[in-house]
Amino acid sequence: MYDNTRPDRYFTEEHQAFRQSLRAFVEAEIIPNVEAWETAGRLPRDLYRKAGALGVLGVLYPEDLGGSEGDFFMQVVVGEELSRCGAGGVCASLGSHSIGIPPVVKHGSAALRDTFARPVIAGEKIAALAITEPGGGSDVAALRTTAVRDGDSYVVNGEKTFITSGMQADVITVAVRTDPAARGAAGISFLLVEGDTRGLTRTELTKMGWWASDTAHLAFNDCRVPASHLIGVEGEGFKAAMMNFNDERLFLAVQAYSMAQACYDEALAWAQQRRAFGQTLAGHQVIRHKLVDMAARIDAARTLTYDVIWRRMQKLDPLNVHIARTSMAKVTATDAMKFCADEAVQILGGMGFMRGTVSERVYREVKVMTIGGGTDEVMRNLAASQLGI
């Protein structure tokens, strides 16, 4: 299979040096603790500080905010290496800043960037993105949470749900409707809401998977948010939300094929040592074919995702083509994850049904990957519209 540890067209020596540091960090600080964090239902804050010190949280962000201004392939390294732990909840919570902070960094004032983005990048604070609502799901244009200007504040009312890191977040980037009379994409803005804002209540949600990730339902009841916490221009949040989703989908694609790889690695190791009918499982043609099918799907998803990112960096595709191919990359990667999780559990047999195996955990986490960041159905429809189909 593809060796992602050597410099090549996509990864420089700098990328690979960072990969080795991060791989050592994951093996020492994360993998031994996954089960404890799954039971606890959240990550310890100290892990964010350690990740921040290593530079994991700041690869895409400006140096003046504590980041390293790396490229998208440096973020690919982060996604691939964190996924080696085989726990999507760890990746989701440790990476919630990657969807919560970009609007602040790209569109926020200097004060917002310095006060909130900087400590998040350092791992001192936790960030979350709050867009999804109980009645809206992937339909962002239908959001109902309102923010009405009152003097030097916005008064926020509404609900958000399925918010990753929502229970612990100190910094919440919230999509609101600043023009209650507007419909659809019009009148949508982003506000930065601090976690201790009066009137904000959080309810923890229990889930099928991603157990190490805290997920919350947020209720805003007459929350007064300083007008200075407006991110960007009032009423122009929809476009920013869409571009933020596009980046998120690329990262989810990376996580999905990497989780598929984790299932493959576990299944291969099991097949090479487990014996049945006088030989190892890997000695049976039917098992070898399963493993080859898994490897082929992982390779296809990885190759497509790399190409989408590379062509974006080279500015080779118009925006509509990039959006369409990003959507296709996410679907291809989640399909690979779904297939590989199922086959890995089958190869492990009874052990695949046991808590503590990577394949059992990933099997439970497949569905959230086909839903989060835009469902597979939304992705296919988006690709079709962008390509004029």
Q: Is 8 within a domain? A: no
Q: Are residues 245 and 367 in the same domain?
A: yes
Does residue 4 form part of some domain? no
- Pair 259, 372 in one domain: yes
Based on the fold, state whether residues 132 and 67 are members of the same structural domain.
Answer: no
What's the total number of domains in the chain? 3
Q: Tell me the pLDDT tens digit for each residue of 300-333.
A: 999 999 999 999 999 999 999 999 999 999 999 9
- For range 40-52, the mean pLDDT: 95
Strand partners, 3: none
Mean pLDDT score of the chain: 93
Last residue of a domain, one of 212, 235, 258: 235
pLDDT at residue 163 in the model: 96
Do the domain assignments include residue 278? yes
Question: Does 363 share its domain with 268?
Answer: yes
**What are the tens digits of pLDDT across the range 260-297?**
999 999 999 999 998 888 899 888 999 999 999 999 99
**173 and 134 in a common domain:** yes
Indicate whether 89 pLDDT > 80. Answer: yes
| Residue 1 within a domain | no
Let me know whether 142 and 87 are in one domain. Answer: no
Asked if residue 224 and residue 300 are part of one domain, the reply reads no
Mark whether 88 and 207 lie in a shared domain: no
pLDDT of residue 12: 93
| Eight-state DSSP code of residue 11 | -
Residue 6 lies in a domain: no
CATH of the domain at 210: 2.40.110.10
Which of helix, strand or coil describes residue 378?
helix
Structural domain including 214 reads: 127-235
Residue 253: in which H helix or E strand, if any?
helix 237-273
Considering the candidates 248, 266, 343, 360, report the single residue annotated as catalytic.
Answer: 248
184 and 151 in a common domain: yes
Beta bridge partners of 193: 172
The residue ranking higher by pLDDT, 235 or 51, is 51
For residue range 231-252, list pLDDT tens digits in order. 999 888 887 777 778 888 999 9
Is 248 designated active site?
yes
Mean pLDDT of 215-227: 97
Residue 74 and residue 28 in one domain = yes
- CA atoms within 13 Å, Cβ hemisphere of 65: 29
The answer to whether residues 227 and 140 belong to one domain is yes
Assess contact for 57 and 79: CB atoms under 8 A.
Answer: no
CATH code, domain with 285: 1.20.140.10
**Under 8 Å between Cβ of 212 and 43:** yes
pLDDT of 135 over the 90 cut: no
pLDDT of residue 202: 97
Q: What is the pLDDT of residue 236?
A: 84
Flag whether pLDDT at 253 surpasses 90: yes
pLDDT for res 138? 64
| Final residue before a domain boundary, out of 89, 121, 153 | 121
